[in-house]
Structure 1
């Protein structure tokens, strides 16, 4: 399988992550039963699980192992990846301390459960269950920060306020119409009562052309 088409990582990125993972994890232990999978397929199936929201049953079929093996593998790799990435973690405040305009947008990360801790995860906008994450990039698409999740039923304006992002983002930040009234640069909403002036349309096109978060998410 091609790494970039399946996991979203280039071959070099996958190899780098695999090497870092190998330094934090002893995959084969002499005093334990041999694993059904080597470390590389274990990492790949974990990335597939999160990137494409595949079921464990489907992954078991793809990698020709049992569903319990898939479940144990994902759990082990997730814990090891948390150790790998921990030194890279920093607060949103520090992540956004760079010059120039920023861009924010929300994305829905799919999940199988419709409810979590009594909160509804179903998004009416996307017609599926998941969690809302706020993603912040530079205007050239460099990913800077991803917030913790809120239930998928919550809209972007709620998530923006919930995470107190107004502390770090101001009138130089570009956003879509889901952030109207929050002090950001957003397109002007269309009105049936009056036509939008040509200069306003030009500004709207400029703002929409700079919405690069989708590329960062991809």
Structure 2
């Protein structure tokens, strides 16, 4: 059975990832994954549901029904193997300052929506998107290739704050960068605002068209990143785990493109 749609990886990529997870666990015999039934079933069956949960973002009960196990088993596999998957893919995440050398860097923010948890709702509410979630900063090349993804920042904070909270200002300090109007004052090239009570000049309009045409590439990069439905639909897990989820999804994105 093929798992390309289920996991987002082709057969060779999935085989290699499972082999790496196997090797990582063999080198750590005290890992709880090496104990009991989870290991006895082999690793293919445990790893695929973890990737399925990331890619499709179903409730765990749906994953349990699809894979013919209990929800408790799905939960245990998720908890035990997600950090292992992150560990074996860490090497695929490039240093943004190195891969951006000599390139124009495009930057934009996107909202990963979450449940409106009562204790966090106000902090997470994005007035721009009229929803609750976390702001991720995304950097890409003019060809639409992903360069970096920031750690999540509360959705109530605007792009400029998220930019300064990320590692992007240091990583791209010597690069020519382009952003939208949310980055005015950041040092990035941005469209020109409309002067109060006036119309934009013909030169400003032409310049803005050029900037926005270039910025379309980072929006494509975000769209590809959101092939992972955990980012595209409402994240339903514990909010404290979202930073780890972001790291895994980012690593998988680079892994799939051959970094």
Same fold, judged at TM 0.5 (above): yes
Report the more deviating stretch, 204-213 or 36-45: 36-45
Larger relative contact order (Cα-Cα within 8 Å, sequence gap ≥ 6): 2
1:62 alignment counterpart: 66
Unaligned residue ranges in structure 1 (runs of 5+):
none
What corresponds to 1:21 in structure 2? 21
Which of 138, 141, 153 is the aligned partner of 1:138?
Answer: 141
Secondary structure at the residue paired with 2:132?
strand
Gaps of 5+ in 2: 27-31, 225-259
**Is 1:149 aligned to 2:152, yes or no?**
yes
Q: Secondary structure at the match of 2:190?
A: coil
Cα distance in 1 between the residues matched to 2:4 and 2:195? 43
Does 1:50 pair with 2:54?
A: yes
Single out whichever of 118-127 and 103-112 deviates more from structure 2. Answer: 118-127
Judge which range, 122-131 or 144-153, deviates more: 122-131
> Residues 6 and 113 from structure 1, CA distance in 2 versus in 1: closer, same or farther, beyond 3 angstroms?
farther
- Give the equivalent residue in structure 2 for 1:202: 206
Indicate whether 1:80 and 2:84 are aligned. yes
How far residue 107 of structure 1 moved from its aligned partner, in angstroms, is: 2.1
Moved more, 163-172 or 175-184: 163-172
SS of residue in 1 equivalent to 2:178: coil
Equivalent-residue separation in structure 2 for 1:2 and 1:196 (angstroms)? 54
Please identify, of 63-72 and 35-44, the stretch whose mean Cα deviation from structure 2 is larger: 35-44
SS in 1 for 2:135: strand
Residue matched to 2:36: 32
Larger % of helix: which?
2
**67-76 or 191-200, which moves further after superposition?**
191-200
**How many Å separate the matches in 2 of 1:76 and 1:60?**
16
Distance in 1 between the 2:140 and 2:79 partners? 30
Using the size of structure 1 for normalisation, the TM-score is 0.79
Aligned pairs (5 A) from 1:56-205:
56-88=60-92, 92-94=96-98, 96=100, 98-112=101-115, 114=117, 120-163=123-166, 165-167=168-170, 168-169=172-173, 172-190=176-194, 193-205=197-209
TM-fit CA distance, 1:175? 1.0
Residues 34 and 149 from structure 1, CA distance in 2 versus in 1: closer, same or farther, beyond 3 angstroms? closer
Map Cα deviations across residues 60-99 of structure 1 (whole Å, 9 max, x no partner).
Answer: 2332322211111111221211220234456554554x11
Question: Counterpart in 2 of 1:216?
Answer: 221
Would you say the 8 A contact 1:92–1:145 is kept in 2?
A: yes
* RMSD of aligned Cα (Å): 3.3
Aligned pairs, how many? 216
